[in-house]
Amino acid sequence: MSKKIEASTSVAEIVRLCPSARKIFDQHGLKGCGGEHGPAEPLEFFARVHQADLEALLEDLNAEIERPAKEPYVYHETPADYIYRRFFKAAIAIVLSLGGLWGVIALMQISLGKALLQPHLLPEIHAHAHAMIFGWVGLFVMGFAYQSFPRFKLTTLWRPGLANLTLYLMLLGIILRFGGDLLAHGPLALALGAVSAAAEITAIVLFMVIILKTARQSMGPHSPYELFIMTALGWFLIQAVFSGFFFFAEATATSLQETILRTALLDGPLRSMQVLGFAALIIAGVSQRFVPVVYGLGQPKHDRQKLIFWLMNGSLLLDIASYVALLVIGNPFFGFTLELSYLLMVVWAVLLVVQLRVFTRTTQPDRSWKFIRAAYVWLLIAIFMMPLLMPYSAWAGEGFSHAFWGAHLHAFTVGFISMMILGVSSRVVPILAGVDSKRLTSLWGPFILLNAGCIGRVILQILTDSAPRIAYPLIGITGFAELAALAWWGIGLWHVMNLSKTHRASVLRMPMPIGAQ
């Protein structure tokens, strides 16, 4: 007599008992997750994440076990099943080299030079920032989207070979831009910057086309979270174009004063597009689809997704317009509208936290949960700092406090964005690799190190205004703590990806996109 499938039975156990049951799971979005043997999560978890009817799923699976299909089910891994690993591994390599490591080196120079504003460090800082946004955040977003979005939409990835090409284009753009930033201004630097911008913009356009084409293949209804994601992709493209413009504005400056003026005018809007337009919107969209169902938080009493969406985009546009107008025109009215944009950001951040219910008790505890919750604590800290920027600058006797602004930006990028990357990937990758996350390390080490480094950096950077003798000697240490945390976590994630039941050689021989379907 065959075993009866229950809600608590793992997907891997069901596939082991009845390989042909895999086709039923594939209809609901499994499609390669967990490798040949499927993920270790229970059926009820699978049904909740993929928004499937648990009772109907139980009925279909038990019927299949009672009367298995005559034709044997053979699992075939496709490029769409493993392409995410290439993006994730590339992102880890970038953050531990051109991104994070280079940022630590620049931070040590700031510490030794005892000054935040050192003009000769601008190229290094911009090279670090570009690698972090395009290589660390961008590659993780692209890998996650290629893997998860088709499964959320119950369809398959459109043109995975073309998706593979976007990885090479992004890596080419990141490396060339890094060289262009560090080279002395001249024809070679401009040529590297031009090719870099073309490669990255092409990659992002192709990425958007692939996601849109994948969405069109789905017969399922549209969900509100998709609006966040699609708009975030639009900001991803806009910031890439603006980033290229920013590079050429700096590379063609004829004096140090002109470089500083152009940086002051363009760097602020660019960072807002990157962290508030692209990163924050994509995290907000993914969080609304991912966090409540994966961690069993339940649904909010009031759905405010549309209000959050319009507040996020409206406050961002007001921020950019007010900042540029304040610098160019100098009318104090634009200082008022800039402060208003910051206050609106506080509103959407609080509403998003309430919408997600991240501070309620989770019914699905996991080692990754502490990262998710900490990320949203950092979001609130970073966002609440924004309306305090101008009052703090006035108190410090400055028109604009670079120390306070840099501290806010670090709280947002490392505390919120990077913490979310660590949390989401630590939950998703074991599922995709068919590994039970309960058997993996708790990740308390990298969690404590990353938070300690971020807390130290934020506090010490602000203290460079009032207590420089204390702050500068210590601030360099915080970078090493954060990099060590990322290396600790990254090596562990890399190992879990390698545990996936796949043929590594076939990954390396992935076909080029010409003619691929």
Q: Which residue has the higher pLDDT, 20 or 362?
A: 362
CA pseudo-torsion sign 127, 129, 132, 137: negative
The per-residue DSSP string of 462-504 comes to: HHTTT-HHHHHHHHHHHHHHHHHHHHHHHHHHHHHHHTSSS-H
pLDDT the model gives residue 490: 97
Confidence of residue 3 (pLDDT cuts 50, 70, 90): low
Write out the H or E segment, with its range, that includes residue 363: none
The one-letter amino acid code at 219 reads: M
Distance of CA 135 to the CA centre of its chain: 10
**Per-residue model confidence as pLDDT tens digits over 71-127:** 777 777 788 889 999 999 999 999 999 999 999 999 999 999 999 988 889 999 999
**Per-residue model confidence as pLDDT tens digits over 276-332:** 999 999 999 999 999 999 999 988 888 999 999 999 999 999 999 999 999 999 999
**Per-residue model confidence as pLDDT tens digits over 171-192:** 999 999 999 999 988 999 999 9
Q: Which residues lie below 8 Å from residue 407, measured CB to CB, with a gap of 6+?
A: 385, 457, 458, 459, 461, 462
Q: How far apart are CA 424 and CA 53, in angstroms?
A: 25
Q: Which residue has the higher pLDDT, 170 or 54?
A: 170
Q: How far apart are CA 44 and CA 50, in angstroms?
A: 10
Helix/strand/coil for 64: helix
**Burial tier of 91 (Cβ tally within 10 Å: 0-12, 13-18, 19+):** buried
Count CA atoms within 13 Å of residue 367 on its CB side.
22
Given a contact cutoff of 8 angstroms between Cβ atoms, the answer to whether 203 and 175 are in contact is: no
Given a contact cutoff of 8 angstroms between Cβ atoms, the answer to whether 372 and 352 are in contact is: no
Least confident of 83-97, 185-199, 358-372, 502-516: 502-516
Q: Output the CA–CA distances (angstroms, integers) from residue 420 to 80, 217, 274, 313, 427, in the order listed.
A: 24, 29, 16, 21, 11
Given a contact cutoff of 8 angstroms between Cβ atoms, the answer to whether 240 and 204 are in contact is: yes
**Per-residue model confidence as pLDDT tens digits over 482-497:** 999 999 999 999 999 9
Domain ranges of the chain: 11-66, 84-105+114-294
